[in-house]
């Protein structure tokens, strides 16, 4: 019962998460100089985020293509996404960054998308069939 055959919802949610992670990571790396001024967030935050998103996005893309997944791997993805959302909110609420209105919109917008992906992954996991050994 520890492995599942991913439902289409889970597979697509992992794929979307992976593709969005890689594309956002590339955007943050390639346009970090411009985004620092446009969003008024520290460059280090953008680059550190990109360095996490690029390999994670690749891993999620790979997971989305596997015929079977370990339940704990899916729960790890859901947990990481949830932590990303919490940390994004904490950046703003605790004043760790002081972005302009565009920075607020970017941080809140990406947090909402990641929260949606985590929820879709959770529902997709519930729809997945257990693999009988």
Question: Contact 131/68 with Cβ under 8 angstroms?
Answer: yes
Instruction: Look up the domain containing 103 and give its range.
Output: 3-130
Residues 5, 66: Cα–Cα separation, whole Å: 9
Question: Contact 3/69 with Cβ under 8 angstroms?
Answer: yes
pLDDT digits (tens, 9 = 90+) for 1-12: 699 999 999 999
Sign of the C-alpha dihedral computed for residues 112, 117, 120 and 125 taken in this order: negative
For the chain, the domain total comes to: 1
Q: Give pTM, 2 decimals.
A: 0.93
pLDDT interval class at 107 (50, 70, 90): very high
End-to-end Cα spacing for the chain: 8
Diameter over CA atoms, the chain: 54
Residues 49, 126: Cα–Cα separation, whole Å: 29
Q: Is the pLDDT of residue 132 over 90?
A: no
Q: Is the pLDDT of residue 84 over 90?
A: yes
């Amino acid at each position: 019962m520890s492995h599942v055959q991913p439902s289409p919802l889970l597979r697509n949610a992992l794929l979307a998460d992976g593709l969005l992670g890689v594309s956002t990571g590339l955007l943050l790396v390639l346009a970090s100089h411009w985004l620092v001024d446009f969003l008024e967030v520290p460059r280090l935050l953008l680059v550190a985020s990109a360095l996490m998103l690029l390999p994670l996005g690749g891993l999620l893309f790979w997971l989305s293509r596997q015929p079977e997944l370990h339940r704990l791997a899916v729960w790890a993805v859901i947990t990481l996404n949830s932590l990303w959302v919490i940390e994004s909110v904490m950046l703003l609420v605790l004043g760790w960054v002081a972005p302009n209105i565009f920075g607020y919109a970017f941080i809140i917008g990406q947090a909402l998308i990641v929260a949606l992906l985590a929820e879709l992954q959770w529902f997709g996991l519930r729809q997945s069939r257990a693999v009988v050994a």
